[in-house]
Amino acid sequence: MERLTQFRQLLSEGKFDGFVVTAPASRRYLSGFTGSSGVLVINREEAILLTDFRYLDQAAEEVKDSGFQVKEHKPQVWETVAAEIMRICSGGRSRWGFESEHLVEKNYRALYERMECCVLTPTEGFVNRLRRKKSAAEIAAIRKAVQITDQAWARLLPELKPGRTEKEIAALFEYFQRDLGAEGTSFPTIVASGPRSALPHGVPTEKKLEAGELLVLDGGARYDGYCSDFTRTIVVGAAPTAQQQELYDLVLRAQETALAGMRAGMTGKEVDALARGVIAAAGYGERFGHGLGHSLGLQIHEPPRLSLTDETVLEPGVVCTVEPGIYLTDWGGIRIEDVVVITEDGIENLTNSPKTLTI
C-alpha cells in the first residue's frame, strides 16, 4: 500500500488522472505481482491488475496487501485496458500517462484508438522516480544476491585452470549461484579470456583457457527478484606479466579512488570523473569506453548511471555498480566491479571478494 500511495502522489504532482503500467519490473514493484503477463491501471481511487487466466490465483495471493484488485482481461488485452479506463473516467476527459520506454507502438495504437476522450501522455522513467531509491528490504535482497555471487566466485576459483573452456566456466559459475540459493542469473554470464578479454561483453565460447592469459568474468545472481553484478579479472595459471600487473593496478586504483570519493549529493557524471581521471592521466582514457557504473535492483541496469552524461544527483539508498576497465585490442582487458549502496555519509560496499590478479 505504501508504494501505491507514493505513486499516487507522483500522479498528483504530474497532473495525471491515471497511469498505465506495462514494464514487468514496474508492475512488480508497485503491485508485487511476479507473473509474466499483466497491465496495471491506476488512478487516484482505483488500482487494478489485469492479467490472464493462468495467473489469476497467483496474482490474488501476491497483490493482496498492495491495494490492487485483480481482474481477468480478454484475449485482446488493450480492449480490456481501454474499457477499464473509460469506466473509471465515466466518459469524461482525462489525462493518462504511460511508460513510453516500454509500451510498443502497436500496443499504443490499440489503446489510443479505444480511448475516445482520454488523452494518452508518454512519460519516461516515471515509476523509476520511486524505484531508484531502495528501501531497507530491497537493499537486504540485493545484499543477499551479492553474497551468493561472492560465494560462487570463491567456489569457482579452483576451477579456473588451463584447458577449461569459457563456456564451462560460465556454466559452473551459474550452477554455483543456483546451488547457493539464487533464483537465476541477473544476466547471461560473461567469460572472456586472452585477447577476447578486451571485449567488455564477451560471450563465452569454446575457447580453452591458456596459462598466462587474462580472464574476465562478469556475472550476477537474482534473489527475491533483485540483482547482483560482479566482475573480477585474473591471470590463468601463471604469475602476471609486468604489463598485466601495471594495468590491473591502474584499474584498481581508479576504482578505489571512486569508492573513496563518491557520496550522496554528487552527480553520476562527477563520480564517473573520479575514476576516469585516474585512467586518463595514465594515458588510457580512450581505452575506458563505457560508463563507470549503473544502478541496479529488479533490473540489472537501472537509472541513474555513473557516466559522462548523467547529471542525476545520487541520494542515500541508491545502489550502483562501480566498474572501471581498460581494453586493449589484440592484448586483452581488465575490469573490476563492486556493488555499493549510497549512504548518508559515504557508501557501503556490499561486495567482499578479493581483488587480486593471481589466485
Percent of the chain with pLDDT over 70: 99
Region 7-17 average pLDDT: 93
Mean pLDDT, rounded, for 59-76: 92
Using the predicted structure, report yes or no on whether residue 93 has a pLDDT greater than 90.
no
Give mean pLDDT, residues 134-149: 98
Average pLDDT over residues 79-96: 84
> Could you read off the pLDDT of 327-345 as tens digits, one per residue?
999 999 999 999 999 999 9
Question: According to the model, what pLDDT value does residue 91 have?
Answer: 63
Say whether pLDDT at 162 is over 90: yes
8 A C-beta contact, residue 82 and residue 96:
no
Q: Residue 88 has what pLDDT?
A: 85
pLDDT value for 344: 95
Burial bucket for residue 208 (CB in 10 Å: 0-12, 13-18, 19+) = middle
Residues facing 249 on adjacent strands: none
Q: Give all strands (DSSP E) within the chain, no chain letters.
A: 18-21, 39-43, 47-51, 69-72, 94-99, 118-123, 184-185, 190-193, 214-219, 221-223, 226-227, 230-235, 293-295, 302-306, 319-322, 325-328, 332-335, 338-343, 346-349
271-280 confidence digits (pLDDT tens): 999 999 999 9
* Residue 344 grid cell: 548518508
List of residues 6+ apart from 143 with CB closer than 8 A: 350
Average pLDDT for 136-155: 98
Task: Give this prediction's pTM.
Answer: 0.94
User: For residue 92, what pLDDT is reported?
Assistant: 67
The pLDDT of residue 257 is above 70: yes
| Strands across the sheet containing 293-295 | 302-306, 293-295, 319-322, 338-343, 346-349
Q: Given this model, what pLDDT does residue 104 score?
A: 87
In the numeric block, which cell numbers belong to residue 153?
566466485
Task: Indicate the range of 117-126, 237-246, 261-270 predicted with least confidence.
Answer: 117-126
If you average pLDDT over residues 197-206, what whole number do you get? 97
Q: What is the mean pLDDT of the chain?
A: 95
Rama region for 137: left / alpha / beta (φ>0; ψ in -120 to 50; rest): alpha
* Structural domains of the chain ordered from first start: 2-130 (3.40.350.10), 136-349 (3.90.230.10)
- Residue 108's pLDDT band (cuts 50, 70, 90): confident
* pLDDT of amino acid 112: 83
Q: What is the pLDDT of residue 110?
A: 84
Over 70: is that where the pLDDT of 17 sits? yes
Report residue 328 as a C-alpha cell. 586493449
At 271-314, the pLDDT tens digits run 999 999 999 999 999 999 999 999 999 999 999 999 999 999 99
pLDDT tens-digit series, residues 202-242: 999 999 999 999 999 999 999 999 999 999 999 999 999 99
Cβ contacts of residue 75 below 8 Å, gap of 6+?
none
